[in-house]
Homo-oligomer: A and B are copies of this chain.
Amino acid sequence: MSRRLALSVMSLALSLPLSARADEGMWMPSQLPELSTQLQAAGFRSDPRALADVTRPPLSAVVKIGGATGSFVSPDGLLLTNHHVAYGVIQYNTKPGANLIDDGFVSHSRSEELPSNPDFRVLVTTAFDKVTDQVLAAAKGKTGKAYYAAVDTASKQLVAQCEAEGGVRCSVANMYYGSDFYLIKQLELRDIRLVYAPPRAIGNYGDEIDNFMWPRHSGDFTVLRAYVGKDGKPADYSPDNVPYRAPAFLKIATDGPKAGDFAMLAGYPGITYRHRTAAEFASQVGHTLPQRVALLDTLIEAIEQRGKASAESRTRYASQLASLKNNRKRAAGELEGLQRSDAVRLREQDERAMLAATKGSEARSIAQLQQILAEGSAMGDRDVLLGLIATQTQLMRSALMLERLREESRKPDAQRETGYQQRDQALIEGVLKQVQRRFDADTEKTLLTLLLGRYQQLPKDQRVPEFDAAFGRDADSLKAALDTLYANTTLGTEAERLARFAAAREGKPLAADALIDLAVKLVPAQIRLDDARKDREGEQLRLRPAYMRALFAWRKQQGRAVYPDANSTLRVSYGQVTPLNPRDAVSYAPVTTVAGIVEKNTNVEPFDAPKPLLTAIAKGVYAGTEDPALKTQTVNFLTNLDTTGGNSGSPVLNARGELIGLNFDSNWESVSASWWYDPRYKRAIHVDTRYIRWLMDKVYPAPDLLREMGVPAQSTGPSR
């Protein structure tokens, strides 16, 4: 009976207009009070003003961990983040006889908590101040590269002043594409310890096969604890350190999410392109992405062909091949998604209406911006090809990198190009050392033949005299050039590379070599192209604010606020627990249960749930953590929250601001969401906090930790 009812209502849901209300938006916390009405309408049951200040509770509980997000869940510095975010820490502590990756880890007392790898950091935001006037003061009246340099110099000065007090990391964040700048001060916690991790087969259940997939069944969480020196200040690891007194911590919800519930999330999304121009959208879909897919296909095909002929090449290029394939998959997914959402047309419609309402000097600035963007876009093919030549090769890349390092090292450190400063030298050395394991001359020549062959086909205005001179204008001269270069270079030998590295970091000339001599000719061209790019970027920085002002005005007419595109600063999004109807007649419920683990389990990685978990599921004994309607233990849930890379580990909160989940992935259909939020397809995937509680209570018990997190624990478990 209820089944039949469900169906007819479901059919209705499927036929809802596609333009249903978007829960789009990665809001700066300071914007939330002005969104009060919308938040309340969406179901939020607290005061949005409490969320406005990122340096005060509850948002001060949300921290940056690596490139991702975490949150404090106890006054004594307990942190919750994803298993995949803390994976390096787990790996660092995996040793013969202690396989923490496979077996997981439960600390039974604070003394058992394990140190993390020394470069692992947690950043707690302590100040977040608008500095637009200071940053732009010297830029006023300038254009192009000079505008860019003025902004860069002012920002570096602010950062230097801010960091002078020590123990903090400062940065300047550019909001709304050069419209506003904020100085962010963050406490840099350096002693982070591993407290609790589930086995890999829980924390990463399904691995690559389930990656981007829903329905999902992953326990992607880990518990860490931050420590500081006895003086309360950030310190390197020491057994004498004490738990950090967190400025705020989140309350764990006792009930869980169900379809339609309000949900919100705070975290550090990396980068989005939502407010790019219609022309940039059109170029991305009409040119950049299809070209990227085709180009990557060619490279993949070439490496695979070589791999068939040579087992050694197959081994050496396995990792590069996997990475190319992953990039190819993402590019194709982004393209598919943008086409499915008809994003180019919709963005174009929207921009046309906006421009119709924009007059005078603003309109002229926007026209100038469009011109600059078109110029950059016209050079796009060349920039992609030269970029791949410098990144998808080993010896060529080494030669270019060494010569550029030599050139930059002649300047004072602060004036050197990013990537070639003193702090970057260890990374460069690492790249030079790993060549041996990743290089095969024939494969590299094949890749360069493909890339430079395409370069040769470019129209004259995109070509570069130094490259033309080096490789000629046709296939024969290219072949001859590459044959000569690779027959005569000694860079295949590690000692030869490292000897030149020692010279380059001192700014001294490099010993002669076929590829180094080539790099001496090409690097000046690269620097010239970089300068032209900075000139265009300076113009964009100067002109995009006009575009944004037009957008603000247009959105205001529509009764909508504008969030800044993501830039790795703290953002909040809100929405609902939401099902997904990805295709005709297919509907995914927004909450999964442990039944799905059993269904997927093959006992073969990555579907090899540990015995204790399977036993616990079979027993069906929960910890007050089962869903009252589903009458079983839930695992993951789905929302329409607006997220992107960097939101891993973001706490998901209910209408009362309590922690109901941990963000850890998106669905495949939302790969294109970095450009376009489509409410039909954009979903975020979360671990249900009830699953975490159940695992920590009944499967791998840690009752003391649960109690520290303010959660009633049923099991007595081993005492901590």
Q: Please indicate the chain B residues that have their CB under 8 angstroms from the CB of A9 in the complex.
A: 2, 5-6, 9
Looking at chain A's contact residues, is the secondary structure mostly helix, strand, loop, or mixed?
mixed
Q: Please indicate the chain B residues that have their CB under 8 angstroms from the CB of A4 in the complex.
A: 259-260, 576
Query: Of all chain B residues, which has the CB nearest A630?
Result: B15
A362-421 with Cβ < 8 A to chain B: none
Q: Please indicate the chain B residues that have their CB under 8 angstroms from the CB of A20 in the complex.
A: 3
Query: Of all chain B residues, which has the CB nearest A579?
Result: B7
A215 touches B15 (CB 8 A): no
A215 touches B584 (CB 8 A): yes
The 4 closest A-B pairs by CB, nearest first: A584-B596, A7-B259, A215-B585, A4-B260
Contact of A589 among B11, B595, B631 (CB under 8 A): B11
A592 touches B596 (CB 8 A): no
A9-37 with Cβ < 8 A to chain B: 9-16, 20
A215 to B587, CA, bound (A): 11
Name A residues whose Cβ lies closer than 8 Å to a Cβ of B. 2-16, 20, 214-215, 217, 258-260, 576, 579, 583-593, 595-596, 599, 629-632
Listed by A's residue number, 6 A-B pairs whose Cβ atoms lie within 8 Å are A6-B12, A7-B589, A11-B591, A585-B590, A585-B591, A587-B588
Smallest CB separation, A586 vs chain B (Å): 6
A599 to B581, CA, bound (A): 13
Smallest CB separation, A265 vs chain B (Å): 20
Copies in the complex: 2
B260 touches A8 (CB 8 A): yes
B258 touches A8 (CB 8 A): yes
- Other A-B pairs, 10, CB within 8 Å; known A3-B13, A11-B629, A585-B588: A2-B13, A3-B16, A5-B9, A6-B10, A7-B590, A8-B258, A14-B630, A215-B583, A586-B588, A587-B587
Q: Please indicate the chain B residues that have their CB under 8 angstroms from the CB of A2 in the complex.
A: 9, 12-13, 16
Smallest CB separation, A547 vs chain B (Å): 34
Smallest CB separation, A688 vs chain B (Å): 12
A590 to B4, CA, bound (A): 11
A671 to B638, CA, bound (A): 31
B587 touches A8 (CB 8 A): no
A259 to B15, CA, bound (A): 15
Smallest CB separation, A245 vs chain B (Å): 41
A4 to B16, CA, bound (A): 12
Smallest CB separation, A41 vs chain B (Å): 13
